[in-house]
A and B are shown apart, each in its own frame.
Chain A
Amino acid sequence: MKKITKYVLLDIIRNRFILAYFLILLLISFSLFMLEDNPDKALLGLMNVVLFIIPLVSLVFSTIYLYNASEFIELMLSQPIPRSILLSRMYLGLSLSLVLSVTLGIGLPVLFYAPSIQGMVLMLSGILLSVVFSSLALLASVLTRDKARGIGVALLLWVYFSFIFDGLVLLLLFQFADYPLEIPMMVFGMLNPIDLARIFLLLQIDMSAMLGFTGAVFQDFFGSVIGMGISLLVLLCWMGIPLWIAIRKFNKRDL
């Protein structure tokens, strides 16, 4: 059954989009490092790429790919192949190709200009975000039959996690400004994979001072080994739970 992953990967590579994605990441990373003398500043710029572009591309590319693979899915399911294996292998192939682009596209320049812990954490966040958002895309495309609606849902998810969620958190923050909100803020951070990655990165790049007192609490929690472990676990849940729901739904779906 490993062969399914092989064919999905082959298909994605033939698609050439993933190659373009890799080249663009490479171009952005290299030019950021070349424009800035201080590699730490360049890392900060690269952080925004990781936090905005990677989720967006992972969501949209995965959704479009899964819709375009409907023929492949139909062909495979009339063969002796279990549905859950097919979908999980397709997810594996998809996320693997995205991870490969991020690892090479961001990893190579980082290795070249800023071979530090911060650089590695940045690359790791990019990888985790790719994995999480392709899982969410899988869920979106299993839940909606219509291609346009599926892509709409994917974009909405991106807007939600990138902008709306932060707005809501800010609103809460102002409403309950009189209360100590450090612990709730940490929980809110867990509810958004992008926020989780951002907090992680800011702590590593030593920008946590900008976060004020909350930053100190974050540093206390996320800086500790247990905190790191927990937040990594939460990110893995962000990958695993949508994947699990998607497979369950897919098992009951008509083709």
Chain B
Amino acid sequence: MSYLLEQVLNGLSYGLVLSLIAAGFAIVFTSTGVLNFAHGSVLLLGAYLVAVLHDSIGFWPAVLVGMLGSALAGVLINAVLVRNLADKKPDTAAILMLGVDIVLLTELTRRIGNQVLTLGAPWGASVVRLGDVSLPTGRVLAAGVTIVAFAGLWYLFSRTDLGVGMRAAAADGPTASLMGIRLSRTAATGWALAGVLAAVAGIFLTSFPAPGVAPTVALSAFAAIPAWVLGGFDSVPGAVIGGLVIGLTSALVTGYEAELEPFLGRGFGEVAPYVVMIVVLLVRPSGLLGSKEAVRV
């Protein structure tokens, strides 16, 4: 029983980290309509900055630099590339982001090389015990920080002028623009927010129980895509639900791999999120909480 509980708690805390990444996808998508394939490398950039800088300036300042660096990368990608696309369509923007991802990821991979950089997180490899269940401190902290982050996002989107402006811009850009909302500003805020969330997720994904910063971490953003799609393309609460579902699914499938192996095969845990995503797209093409596209003839 405690094994099951441990798997569930592990899955939920991993799911919360995924939902941070998924929320980044959703925010970029609603504020600029871009499917951000470079999200993974932005995440890796944040973690890389922390890993490189923590020795010289200390862990917490390095975290700050990592978050700012990721945010700045997002804002620059939007301002320099996305806004200057020759052919402004969602598909073209998605392919552009693939190009950005290739360049950024290749450069970071080259810098990291074959080594695994340690993050120098102060919580190290310590473990929190709850009764007979033990969880890595990093995971518990990740859950706490994620919940605080989503509370902050809720406050931003419902109580501040900037957040309400972003929602208005997402709902109807031209009208929002006529009402005096600067679309360039809401777009930049969206990309910056996504960058900060990605950096935070990157820090938790590369500290214990993960070995450290390696190029494969960028792939974890791809693991968050099912979470984003599941929740709905334009919904931040949906991202939370999607993240939790995907986190639970992969933790349980991996945890009970021995029992599932005869009919699903080894390593199904990596594939399970995508299977869930395809099934959801089949039943609800706009996700669980996403707004349906209205097509009028």
The answer to whether A and B come from one shared complex is: no
* Chain B interfacial positions (CB closer than 8 Å to A): none
